[in-house]
Structure 1
Amino acid sequence: MIQTPPTHPVASENLIAMLDDARQRTLALTGDLPAERRMGPKLSIVNPPQWEIGHVGFFYDHFFLHLHQGLSDYQIPHAERLYDSMGVAHDDRWDLALPTLDDTLGYLCQIRDEMAARLPEGMADAATSYVWQLAVFHEDMHGEAFTYTRQTLADPAPVIDAPARLADVDSGAIEGDVAIPGGEHTLGADDDVPFRFDNEKTAHTIQVAPFRIARAPVTQAEFAAFVEAGGYRDPAYWSAEGWAWRESSELAAPVYWRSGPGGWEVRHFDAWYPMQPNAPVSHVSRYEAEAFCRWAGRRLPTEAEWEMAASRVPSDNGLEPGKRHYPWGNAPGDSRHANTDGYRVGTVDVAGLAEGDSALGCRQMLGNVWEWTASPFAPYPGFQADLYAEYSAPWFEDGRSVLRGGSWATRRRHLNINTRNFFAPGRNDLIAGFRTCAR
């Protein structure tokens, strides 16, 4: 039996419902693509969708059925030669003799049924719960990748069925900073978190100096002021690495912006719309975020500062000990608290969703857009790779930066204040923006 980290047991019926929900989302995000788009162009920032669908299935096949359940054979012969992301070079994924789309979807159905047949009545054990959730959350992450791939390739906006009426969202901006007194903070996920990725461990105490952080992310209107002030033309605002990126990209504004007869327009999937001035700026790289900060006399928060602002509760003497699992408390919340799960198929104004405020007064710390931080992606003290050894460890020395908070396309079930995302600082295809701190 493989070794798995401690995880809270989950009822079998909940595990099946979780998988079926993730699968329904995968099909919603890919099922309407015409035949010529099932492979798509060979770009460094996307995968061919038909390959990626098979890779999602292979992850279940490999980690749950092969490693956890001990099946000697994959559900299709030599599946690892086709779908192992660490074994198949990125550029080769367009050139493989892949199964047809129908056969690929059949592969996913076969795996799902085989997995469900192996669950017990009632509660699954901790190891089964861990591996099952790991695979579902992996599919969720690819669902977000399918979403921003559609944006990259100017495909139509996906049609996502919301389970119920979504909460109303206030419009407008929200300005000002929150003063955080600093002090001791436990960075990372404690044992009481139901599921933890390896890069969230181990929880450890650090000291954070007092700081001031914006109540909301930078808006499109605020970023437009930077663009219109010549921010993309002046290397003084950019790091040497960032300016080299800007010159090679030849951008004069965020990648999905253009100047229209009535002002700035922003491409949302396959259509152009007038800029939403009070929505968060999105699809910007860390380099662009840093350049804005230099222009504005601000800076990006570290991930420790971000987490402290998102999770701590004020007291008469500073901050209460401990931290919340979510900005609004310890329960997962719903559409009143955060714009997640893809149901709105886009961002909302930064003034919206006040019920999701952190106890310290920061809004939209979860959902809407991922937020770049100033922190490089690095292991926490005591890091040990979990079952999916390639999830974090290969990227610690790869120059990646930490993003926090999730986006409108992130699934709520694997998102909390400990969640760390990590990408190269030049990636501007992500649903990512930023908030700032006072210098």
Structure 2
Amino acid sequence: MGPLSHPEPDALKELIASELGASRDRSLGLTTGVLDVPDLTAQVSPLMSPLVWDLAHVGNYEELWLLRAVTGADAIRPEIDGLYDAFEHPRAERPSLPLLPPDEARAYLAAVRERVLDALPSVRFDTGNPLTGGGFVYGMVVQHEHMHDETMLATHQLRRGAPALLDPPPPSAVPDRTDAAEVLIEAGPFEMGTSDDPWAYDNERPGHIVDVPAYFIDTEPVSNAAYHAFMEAGGYDDPRWWTPAGWEWRNFSGKRAPAFWHRDSGAWLRRRFGRTEPVPMSEPVQHVCWYEADAYARWAGRRLPTEAEWEKAARWDPDAQRSRRFPWGDTYEEGRANLGQRALRPSPEGAFADGASPHGVRRLIGDVWEWTSSDFHAYPGFRSFPYKEYSEVFFGPEYKVLRGGSWATHPLAVRGTFRNWDYPVRRQIFAGFRCARSAGEGA
């Protein structure tokens, strides 16, 4: 899914038109026919935008890049640009803006899309133009919409009230595993990032060689059962396991369990998209912040993997001596990972064994975003493109890197090089983690 090289222009345009349609179908499916107008215009949390803001924002972003930047077209509605500028208006103040109502937002999206598709046949994918070469700007817009779809799913999860989304069945149960809980990744160099993936973002570039010391990494993400053991052992009440900033967060927030968990009659339950259910102990833990993940790892006598360790485990093929795009190969294959909202939840332990990396590490792609120990920084030789506000303005120690995507991430918007980032306090995102340890340390 997505071009790995530069296909013929007609084939690339067919792919682009298809992916534009798929992302729009998903956006409308999360906002049309599932909620009443008040639910679309309300803000369920100061951390999130009203759903109607996300809806019009993806259309405005598409207009800015695929009409104005690519074709030089005049603005359709120049007066709304400021309303949907994510840097001009933080999320907490967006409900007070004169946003387009739902029907008007949908009409605006339709008008933008019609003009984009009308212009597409005449667009030249000139390899000398970094914006259109390989269809980059179209891939950027499609991925951007899918990212907002995942954000809208987080808004749905935070919303109180009756379920609004259909709940597909989870992947089938998998027999108990008998293989090792961790695997050794031998010391040595590998190529981190990419220089030739035409739809990769600037922060994934350029590809560069990183020499990583030997380490062990979990074959599976940390499960709800394992995290529950940390809770039962008093992990939230022992400052030994927390960084100073993490302990401050724990005391200020009062949190003692993952987000959306609560205890009732001695049993742990969770709220998931308007449904209350027992916490499924075989699923990866999700809705934990970086501080919680780091504290668990310390309690377990381990640590979070670095970003380079995570990527080497996900991409490096020691037999071929090269990095892959995905753990299983260079092309996306359905059934290898829990992606694309196929179920509104992570999969049970042991699932998607066919998506394992050459080292036997599973579910690196999909299920839950995985916190790493790394701050978000530029790679050597980084060049901001096509705008600083996508990556560059976020570089620094304030943000921690997450990898691998979640069940809510579309396959087009994640790959072995893809980098996500967020504040270490964030819990509304679909994030979990796995642990690692340096070779030579005790298990």
TM score, norm. by length of structure 1: 0.91
**Displacement after TM superposition at 1:138 (Å):** 0.3
1:312 correspondence with 2:316:
yes
- Matches of residues 11-410 of structure 1 in structure 2 within 5 Å? 11-31=12-32, 32-41=34-43, 43-72=45-74, 74-120=75-121, 125=126, 127-128=131-132, 129-154=135-160, 159=165, 168=172, 170=174, 172=176, 176-191=181-196, 193-261=197-265, 263-315=267-319, 320-335=320-335, 337-397=336-396, 399-410=398-409
**Displacement after TM superposition at 1:314 (Å):** 3.1
Whether the aligned pair in 2 keeps the contact of 1:375 and 1:402 (CA below 8 Å) is yes
> CA–CA distance in 2 between the matches of 1:36 and 1:247?
35
Quickly say closer, same or farther: Cα 1:248–1:39, change in 2 above 3 A. farther
**Displacement after TM superposition at 1:101 (Å):** 1.2
**Displacement after TM superposition at 1:122 (Å):** 10
> CA–CA distance in 1 between the matches of 2:29 and 2:162?
12
1:150 maps to a residue whose letter is: H
> CA–CA distance in 2 between the matches of 1:304 and 1:157?
39
Quickly say closer, same or farther: Cα 1:270–1:172, change in 2 above 3 A. farther
Quickly say closer, same or farther: Cα 1:171–1:98, change in 2 above 3 A. farther
> CA–CA distance in 1 between the matches of 2:105 and 2:57?
10
> CA–CA distance in 2 between the matches of 1:397 and 1:181?
29
> CA–CA distance in 2 between the matches of 1:133 and 1:234?
46
> CA–CA distance in 2 between the matches of 1:328 and 1:168?
21
Superposed CA offset, 1:395-422 (max 9, x none): 1036100000000010001211001000
Quickly say closer, same or farther: Cα 1:48–1:107, change in 2 above 3 A. same
Whether the aligned pair in 2 keeps the contact of 1:171 and 1:352 (CA below 8 Å) is no
> CA–CA distance in 2 between the matches of 1:395 and 1:324?
27
> CA–CA distance in 1 between the matches of 2:394 and 2:370?
19
1:326 maps to a residue whose letter is: F
Gaps of 5+ in 2: none
Whether the aligned pair in 2 keeps the contact of 1:28 and 1:158 (CA below 8 Å) is no
For the residue of structure 2 that corresponds to 1:112, the secondary structure is helix
Whether the aligned pair in 2 keeps the contact of 1:189 and 1:203 (CA below 8 Å) is yes
1:324 maps to a residue whose letter is: R
> CA–CA distance in 2 between the matches of 1:377 and 1:432?
16
**Is the deviation greater in 196-205 or in 151-160?**
151-160
Whether the aligned pair in 2 keeps the contact of 1:28 and 1:160 (CA below 8 Å) is no
> CA–CA distance in 2 between the matches of 1:137 and 1:170?
32
Gaps of 5+ in 1: 1-5
Whether the aligned pair in 2 keeps the contact of 1:325 and 1:417 (CA below 8 Å) is yes
Corresponding pairs, count: 425
**Displacement after TM superposition at 1:171 (Å):** 5.4
> CA–CA distance in 1 between the matches of 2:332 and 2:163?
27
Whether the aligned pair in 1 keeps the contact of 2:171 and 2:351 (CA below 8 Å) is no
> CA–CA distance in 2 between the matches of 1:329 and 1:171?
25
For the residue of structure 1 that corresponds to 2:28, the secondary structure is helix
**Displacement after TM superposition at 1:92 (Å):** 2.8
> CA–CA distance in 2 between the matches of 1:207 and 1:131?
32
**Displacement after TM superposition at 1:157 (Å):** 5.1
**Displacement after TM superposition at 1:295 (Å):** 0.8
Quickly say closer, same or farther: Cα 1:222–1:158, change in 2 above 3 A. same
**Displacement after TM superposition at 1:69 (Å):** 1.2
Whether the aligned pair in 2 keeps the contact of 1:42 and 1:94 (CA below 8 Å) is no
Root-mean-square deviation (CA, aligned residues, Å) is: 2.2
Quickly say closer, same or farther: Cα 1:178–1:243, change in 2 above 3 A. same
**Displacement after TM superposition at 1:313 (Å):** 2.1
Whether the aligned pair in 2 keeps the contact of 1:171 and 1:278 (CA below 8 Å) is no
> CA–CA distance in 1 between the matches of 2:383 and 2:24?
30
> CA–CA distance in 1 between the matches of 2:20 and 2:171?
25
For the residue of structure 1 that corresponds to 2:55, the secondary structure is helix
**Displacement after TM superposition at 1:220 (Å):** 0.2
> CA–CA distance in 2 between the matches of 1:122 and 1:62?
16
**Displacement after TM superposition at 1:261 (Å):** 2.6
**Displacement after TM superposition at 1:123 (Å):** 8.2
> CA–CA distance in 2 between the matches of 1:168 and 1:273?
18
1:325 maps to a residue whose letter is: R
Quickly say closer, same or farther: Cα 1:57–1:326, change in 2 above 3 A. same
**Displacement after TM superposition at 1:35 (Å):** 2.0
> CA–CA distance in 1 between the matches of 2:175 and 2:60?
43
Superposed CA offset, 1:334-361 (max 9, x none): 12x1000001121111200110010001
1:375 maps to a residue whose letter is: S
Quickly say closer, same or farther: Cα 1:184–1:398, change in 2 above 3 A. closer
2:247 maps to a residue whose letter is: W
> CA–CA distance in 1 between the matches of 2:230 and 2:144?
37
Whether the aligned pair in 2 keeps the contact of 1:350 and 1:363 (CA below 8 Å) is no
**Displacement after TM superposition at 1:114 (Å):** 0.3
2:413 maps to a residue whose letter is: H
For the residue of structure 1 that corresponds to 2:409, the secondary structure is coil
**Is the deviation greater in 165-174 or in 51-60?**
165-174
